[in-house]
């Protein structure tokens, strides 16, 4: 059992007329998604909303206890929950890519996606593109998503060389949902603790606000205040892009131990 308090804001920013970001939060499913769409006209908005809705609808079927059919090609290196989330992103990719092939005005549209799912044993963070997922544990902030940008990938190989890359590479993605027939999301699965905080955002926030500033803001504020404080900060600094932020706090976490483990823990205390 996990209890999560969450808040999300999606703001158009100061320069754009439309909002190409989309988000989804559900504390009963423990599922949180940010998608940052791209493509001319309204295509970016279409792409990001398809992504968010597909993930939501696919994951919804697991909410009840009814067993439903699952997609094949499960990856043994990740848990069942992670496999489901990855499957939902594959479905979203098919949806966006399919539409872009059929409709000329949607040609080349795509979207990033960053999704977090809590299961009893771990938190699962899956991403494609450059929308960051930060994990804050005991006053330390850590990026647990993998930025799929030319700049980040070059920096991983040779930090010095990356510094000399033209600034445009900072926004150039190497992967995005809906651009090709297949997609490879990055998956991170890790245990979590009561008090941990996660921040999911679009690059409209991360371009303007440094991780240390995010850490400071969410550390001292309630989730809803932290969320609006972060959006305000990005807007004060120009608000060049759409800004979407989800802040979530793990309020409580109860391990569902079996009676045996419970008994052993009691014995352990006596011993």
Partner 1 sequence: MPILTLKFKDNVIKEYDLEKGKSLSIGRREENNIVIDNLAVSGHHAKIDSVGEGFLATDLQSKNGSFVNEQFISTHWLKHGDVITIGKHSIVFEYKDGETKPETANPQENMDQTMVMDTNSYKSMLAKSSPNAASPDISKEPVGVLSYVAGGQGEVEISKKLFKIGKASTNDIVVSGFLVGQVAATISKRPGGFFFTYSGGTSKPKVNGVSVTESVQLKDFDVIEIGSAKMHFFVK
Residues that bind partner 1 (CB under 8 A): 36, 38, 76-79, 82, 110, 112, 121-122, 129-130, 137, 142-146, 150, 153-154, 156-158, 161, 164-169, 171-176, 179-180, 184, 186-191, 193, 203, 240-241, 255, 257-258, 260-261, 264-265, 267-269, 271
Residue closer to partner 1, measured from CB, 126 or 229: 126
Please classify residue 95 by burial: count the beta carbons closer than 10 Å to its beta carbon, then call 0-12 exposed, 13-18 middle and 19+ buried.
middle
> Which residues, in sequence order, are CB contacts of 85 under 8 Å at separation 6+?
55, 59, 115, 117, 124, 126, 187
For the CB of residue 60, give the shortest distance to partner 1 in the complex, in Å. Answer: 24
Residues 92 and 51: beta-carbon distance below 8 Å: yes
Closest residue by Cα to residue 178 from 9, 54, 76:
54
For the CB of residue 58, give the shortest distance to partner 1 in the complex, in Å. Answer: 20
Residue closer to partner 1, measured from CB, 211 or 228: 211
Neighbours of 4 (CB within 10 A): 23
Residue closer to partner 1, measured from CB, 8 or 110: 110
For the CB of residue 211, give the shortest distance to partner 1 in the complex, in Å. Answer: 12
For the CB of residue 225, give the shortest distance to partner 1 in the complex, in Å. Answer: 28
How far is residue 182's CA from residue 72's CA, in Å, rounded to a whole number?
15
How far is residue 263's CA from residue 271's CA, in Å, rounded to a whole number?
12
For the CB of residue 158, give the shortest distance to partner 1 in the complex, in Å. Answer: 7
Longest dimension (CA), the chain: 72
Residue closer to partner 1, measured from CB, 35 or 229: 35
Residue closer to partner 1, measured from CB, 44 or 229: 44
């Amino acid at each position: 059992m996990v209890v999560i308090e969450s808040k999300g804001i999606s703001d158009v920013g100061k320069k754009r007329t439309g909002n190409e970001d989309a988000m989804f939060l559900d504390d009963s499913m423990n599922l949180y998604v940010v998608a940052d769409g791209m493509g001319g006209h309204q295509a970016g908005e279409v792409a990001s909303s398809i992504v968010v809705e597909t993930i939501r609808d696919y994951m919804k079927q697991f909410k009840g206890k009814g067993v439903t059919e699952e997609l094949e090609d499960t990856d043994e290196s990740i848990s069942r929950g992670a496999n489901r989330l990855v499957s939902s992103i594959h479905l979203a990719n098919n949806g966006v890519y399919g539409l872009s092939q059929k409709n000329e005005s949607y040609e080349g549209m795509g979207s990033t996606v960053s999704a977090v799912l809590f299961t009893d044993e771990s938190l699962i963070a899956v991403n494609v593109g450059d929308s960051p997922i930060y994990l804050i544990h005991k006053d330390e902030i850590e990026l647990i998503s993998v930025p799929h940008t030319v700049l980040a990938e070059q920096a991983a190989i040779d930090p010095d060389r990356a510094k000399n890359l033209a600034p445009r590479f900072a926004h150039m993605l190497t992967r995005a949902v809906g651009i090709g027939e297949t997609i490879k999301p990055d998956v991170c699965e890790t245990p979590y603790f009561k008090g941990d905080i996660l921040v999911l955002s679009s690059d409209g926030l991360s371009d303007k606000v440094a991780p240390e500033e995010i850490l400071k803001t969410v550390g001292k504020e309630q989730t809803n205040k932290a969320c609006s404080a972060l959006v305000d900060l990005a807007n004060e600094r120009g608000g060049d892009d759409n800004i979407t932020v989800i802040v979530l706090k793990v309020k409580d976490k109860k391990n569902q131990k079996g009676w045996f483990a419970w008994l052993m823990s009691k014995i352990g205390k006596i011993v």
